[in-house]
Structure 1
């Protein structure tokens, strides 16, 4: 019991929320440069319907209070991702998410972003596509916080 608690404390220190915000920024920037980023609800849903097995992460901003339509869309998207074992990373700002995704001229910001696997890399012997160190940190964070409720929200840096 004591060893498990000690390991949890070590992991919590590893998952410093400000470092995670920079990790999300780096992952989105890298995915955008490599054309592995899909931004916006309709394009993301279309891709998820077609190839959910090729999705590495779904990044969702917190919904604004009073925006019930967006809240329902987010809940349904999270449920779909959960059913398909797609990690959902929740962030604090749709405006910053839009900026990181390279989306401009939107009134409400980016409603979601999907990061796909890098299919140009050869799969591992377990038939999994390798993740970058930043992506692995975020995958570990997701696994570590999977049973937390409410889900943790990562603050994005400016």
Structure 2
């Protein structure tokens, strides 16, 4: 059974499963130091070492669709990820994402959570592979592949509230 064949309740259940799996991936990757946060930092990593990137998350906050510069960045990042077979998703729960990743940096400045990359190894240390790569990442990857098969190249997912 494909994602398209699911009924409304089954789609909601599937989205919940994928949302929880994404949350697990983020917690695990964060603990291993395999997360890059911020549009500029993501662009630098994609330019330098795109082979280790397994997932790209693009997020918007309230009124984020009005920011033309951010939309241009999103378009370029989406194109790069699609061209390089990097799974990509939109997350529309910035508040929950901030809870998971920590909403501020070391200087009490809000983090730029508009683009998050998950890598399979710690940046700048290619010898260390990610031991957290498990079933949760496989669920997210399968969801992205199913979405692409249905011509939805950037699926939208909602992280579950706590």
User: 1:107 and 1:36, CA in 2 relative to 1: closer, same or farther beyond 3 A?
Assistant: closer
Alignment partner, residue 23 of structure 1: 21
Cα distance, 1:133 vs structure 2: 0.3
Which whole-Å CA distance do the structure 2 matches of 1:23 and 1:115 have between them? Answer: 14
Alignment partner, residue 95 of structure 1: 95
Alignment partner, residue 70 of structure 1: 70
The structure 2 residue matched to 1:113, chosen from 106, 113, 116, is 116
Q: Gapped runs of 5+ residues in structure 1?
A: 1-6, 123-128
**1:68-104: CA deviation from partner (whole Å, max 9, x where unpaired):** 2211111111101111110002111233223222241
User: 1:133 and 1:46, CA in 2 relative to 1: closer, same or farther beyond 3 A?
Assistant: same
Alignment partner, residue 140 of structure 1: 142
1:27-42 correspondence runs (5 A): 27-42=25-40
Alignment partner, residue 4 of structure 1: none
Alignment partner, residue 48 of structure 2: 50
Alignment check: 8 A CA contact 2:56 2:89 kept: yes
Alignment partner, residue 126 of structure 1: none
Alignment partner, residue 153 of structure 1: 156
Alignment check: 8 A CA contact 2:56 2:116 kept: yes
Alignment partner, residue 124 of structure 2: none
Which whole-Å CA distance do the structure 1 matches of 2:153 and 2:96 have between them? Answer: 22
Cα distance, 1:108 vs structure 2: 7.6
Which sits farther off after the overlay, 13-22 or 136-145?
Answer: 13-22
Aligned length: 146
Which sits farther off after the overlay, 61-70 or 16-25?
Answer: 61-70
Which whole-Å CA distance do the structure 2 matches of 1:48 and 1:85 have between them? Answer: 12
Q: Gapped runs of 5+ residues in structure 2?
A: 122-126
